[in-house]
Amino acid sequence: AYGFGDVRTQDISVFNIAGEEGTPCRDFREVLVRYNEMVKEVVLSGPTSFAPIIRRSMKHVRESGNQFHILVIIADGQMEDEGPTVSAIIEASKLPLSIVLVGVGDGP
């Protein structure tokens, strides 16, 4: 499970909420526990771009031998510049990857 859009990664990269890179969460319960711990420490920042998380998911698909994956993005931000996200979606369409975006909050 990955986070993005904080003051450190901004719209450039992602961070592993389980800790160091390569350490996966064991199940959804662990994702929720780590999220609740991490959210107290992270300072969110704009602009919002989904391109880094989409590209990280593409890397994960390739590393798995092109097994089918589903990327679920839960976000409350409005994209400032849609270009990089649209380009990443077009790239991802060539892989066995489905992308589901869930908007939360009271944004547009």
Kindly state the helix (H) or strand (E) to which residue 52 belongs, with its residue range: helix 51-63
Structural contact between residues 74 and 104, judged by C-beta atoms closer than 8 angstroms: yes
Structural contact between residues 50 and 72, judged by C-beta atoms closer than 8 angstroms: no
Model confidence pTM above 0.85: no
Beta strands in 1-108 (DSSP E): 2-4, 14-16, 69-75, 97-103
Reference 1, options 9, 61, 11, 21; nearest CA is 21
How confident is the model at residue 59, as a pLDDT? 94
Each residue's pLDDT tens digit, 61-91: 999 999 999 999 888 767 777 899 999 999 9
- The secondary structure of residue 107, as a DSSP letter, is -
